[in-house]
Structure 1
Amino acid sequence: MGAGTGTYSGEVSPLARIDASYTPRFAEFAFEPGFTAAVDQHVAHLRERLAVTCPDLVPHAPDREALSDYALGFLDALAESGWREPVGHDYAVCRLTAISWLVRRHDLA
């Protein structure tokens, strides 16, 4: 396994997989204000869950390993439940898009 990535040598990290799959959804922010607001709330929740709170105006980057571990667990739970990506936006799409946003914002892929 790769150090802190939860992947075997040669496998794509969960953050890179999520980033590749959900970054294209950023284009929807321009015409889906509800989706934008939901993703923003998911980003805030992830920052809180991963203890990325600070008194600064600009939040610090989440720990790459912690976000990767969270993402891997989330993907595993989705796979176990038989989740399939819908056309619209459900909880999982919003959460995965939020993870992708954090990866892009902080160059974590």
Structure 2
Amino acid sequence: MNALGEAQLDRMGREPGLVAAVDQHVAVLRDAIPLDRETLGDYLLGFIDELRQRGWVLGDEPDAAALRLTAVCWLARERGFLEDAGPA
């Protein structure tokens, strides 16, 4: 959330196209995994590990990886997974 999520979620309030793109990634996640705190967290850790191995870097415009990370952040916020946790 600190590195990407908050800024992207704020940006969603101003950019309907970003909302639509993130919504597509949310739909994929809903179909692929159970959306509980543990499973979503495990998915996120695995996804980040894969991005690190590939040498991915966040650019100015969101690519597929940034959209997927934003979708995870959105889901975590919407489901209240961050309310009783420390920094994510």
TM-score normalized by structure 1? 0.69
Question: Matched residues, percent identical?
Answer: 43
Q: Which of structures 1 and 2 has the larger relative contact order (alpha carbons within 8 angstroms, sep 6+)?
A: 2
Per-residue CA deviations over 1:4-41 (Å, capped at 9, x if unaligned) read xxxxxxxxxxxxxxx22212212212332221101011
Letter in structure 2 aligned against 1:93: A
Q: Structure 2-normalised TM-score?
A: 0.84
Q: Which segments of 5 or more consecutive residues in structure 1 lack a partner in the other structure? A: 1-18, 52-61
- Counterpart of 2:66 in structure 1 is 93
1:104 is aligned to 2:86: no
Superposed CA RMSD in Å reads 1.2
Question: Counting helix residues as a fraction of each chain, which structure ranks higher?
Answer: 2
Where has structure 1 moved over 6 Å in runs of 4 or more? none
Tell me, yes or no, if structure 1 residue 20 matches structure 2 residue 16: no
